[in-house]
Amino acid sequence: MDYAKNKEKVSLIGLCLDELRSLSEQVGEKTFRGQQLFDWIYRKNIDDYNLMTNLPGTFITELSEKYKFHPLVLAHCSESKKEPTKKFLFRTENGHMIESVLMHDGNRSTVCLSTQVGCAVDCQFCATAQMGFLKNLTAGEIIDQFIQIRSIIEEPPINVVFMGMGEPFLNYRSVIQAAELLHQPDGINLGFDRITISTVGIVPKIKRYTQEGHRYKLAISLNGVSQEQRLMIMPISKAHTLDDLLAAARKYASISRRKLTIEYVLIEKLNDSPEDAKTLKRLLRDIRCKLNLIPYNEIGGPYRRPNDDRINAFLAQLQNVSFPVTVRWSKGTDIDAGCGQLAIKENIIND
């Protein structure tokens, strides 16, 4: 393959149906050819022009000269020895590296996608923060993680979470475009409830998401029960205070009539006391939500995961609450694929 020439080509993955239709028109083809192309790429999962048997030869010649399929190259895959979890390392066209994680739980599989290269949000408990922010991913780069993983595993993933590297709501448009492509019924066809967008609490974007009426699931990482606690580990709380965040969360849950997921990373002696649990119970009592407690995955910094006794004492305070509570033990921590562990040591790999 001529890599220099291939790099100059535009990626088809990431283009929506309307864009593929107008692309067809631009090269002198009928609009419906765009629909056929959409069907091959997203529904049939084909990335070889030779297999697209209903497209005319002239169209294929034109496409193959200017367009490629994938914006990403799969560089590496590692597999956990402890759980059925795999971590995938992808290279973008400009040499940045990103990671995605595939987790199996019984016969359910979930893929966790990255939305940015690095992250500017600087949560103190997160390895991605240590990379700094390098770039927003395009919708194509986001969805190609899913498409390439789908191609190499036996059963396609049934759930997608935007919870990998980056803050999804700081790359809002591309994330929504990627979610739409995942949902499109005549394409990949994942139900709204199969797609979760997770944010650390970018309040104006939560308001926008609510106003726009999106039906994908929303998760908010709360991680603290007071402004002081959140500020200690999430500097973004200075601009997006706990009060504002809870008000936006409450409004989302009431307007959308959907159950919000509240994520709460349990960090030893920081936010894991029984008093913290009582406060959490009070803060969430009038929000339609479910609570996911995530025992912290250590990354070599100052924070520790609470022991089982502390976790159980926290949980004991949450008996008989009006919302469901689950403890989510991250998978793939032996390959640094757990929540908050994704980070690329070397950000740019030269071609």
Number of residues written out for the chain: 351
Distance CA 337, CA 89 (A): 11
Least separation in angstroms between residue 68's CB and ligand SF4 is: 29
Distance CA 71, CA 117 (A): 14
User: Which CB atom, from 165 or from 178, has the smaller least distance to ligand SF4?
Assistant: 165
User: Which CB atom, from 15 or from 134, has the smaller least distance to ligand SF4?
Assistant: 134
Q: Dig out the tokens for 136 from the structure.
A: 């927003």
User: Which CB atom, from 71 or from 166, has the smaller least distance to ligand SF4?
Assistant: 166
Encoded one letter per residue, x for contact with ligand SF4 by CB under 6 A and - for no contact, window 329-348 reads: -----------x--------
- Decide if 339 is catalytic: yes
Which ranges of the chain does DSSP label H, i.e. alpha helix?
3-8, 17-26, 32-38, 57-66, 139-152, 172-183, 203-212, 227-233, 242-256, 274-284, 308-316
Nearest CA among 319, 332, 198, 203 for reference residue 265: 198
Q: Is 324 exposed, middle or buried (0-12, 13-18, 19+ CB in 10 A)?
A: exposed
- Judged by CB under 6 A, the chain residues 178 through 217 that form the site for ligand SF4 are 200
Q: Count H helices, E strands: the chain? A: 11, 14
Encoded one letter per residue, x for contact with ligand SF4 by CB under 6 A and - for no contact, window 45-64 reads: --------------------
Least separation in angstroms between residue 253's CB and ligand SF4 is: 21
Encoded one letter per residue, x for contact with ligand SF4 by CB under 6 A and - for no contact, window 310-329 reads: --------------------
Distance CA 139, CA 13 (A): 9
- Judged by CB under 6 A, the chain residues 105 through 124 that form the site for ligand SF4 are 119, 121-123
Least separation in angstroms between residue 166's CB and ligand SF4 is: 5
- Judged by CB under 6 A, the chain residues 146 through 165 that form the site for ligand SF4 are 165
Least separation in angstroms between residue 4's CB and ligand SF4 is: 33
Choice from 15, 52, 129, 267 touching ligand SF4 (CB under 6 A)? 129
Contact 210, 248 (CB under 8 A): yes
Q: Is 218 in the site for ligand SF4 (CB under 6 A)?
A: no
Least separation in angstroms between residue 83's CB and ligand SF4 is: 21
User: Which CB atom, from 167 or from 276, has the smaller least distance to ligand SF4?
Assistant: 167
Choice from 128, 148, 159, 174 touching ligand SF4 (CB under 6 A)? 128
Distance CA 294, CA 219 (A): 13
Least separation in angstroms between residue 223's CB and ligand SF4 is: 9
User: Which CB atom, from 140 or from 166, has the smaller least distance to ligand SF4?
Assistant: 166
Q: Pairing relation of β-strands 159-162 and 195-199? A: parallel
Least separation in angstroms between residue 100's CB and ligand SF4 is: 13
Per annotation, catalytic residue among 29, 99, 141, 263:
99
Nearest CA among 107, 101, 49 for reference residue 331: 101
Q: Is 166 in the site for ligand SF4 (CB under 6 A)?
A: yes
* Residue in the block written with tokens 């992250």: 119
Q: Is 245 in the site for ligand SF4 (CB under 6 A)?
A: no
The torsion defined by the Cα of 202, 207, 211 and 217, in degrees rounded to 10, comes to 50
Per-position DSSP letters for 31-82, written without gaps between them: THHHHHHHIIIIIS----GGG-TTS-HHHHHHHHHHEES-S-EEEEEEE-SS
Per annotation, catalytic residue among 112, 119, 289, 339:
339
User: Which CB atom, from 15 or from 267, has the smaller least distance to ligand SF4?
Assistant: 267
Site residues, ligand SF4 (CB under 6 A): 119, 121-123, 126, 128-129, 165-167, 200, 340
Catalytic residues: 99, 339
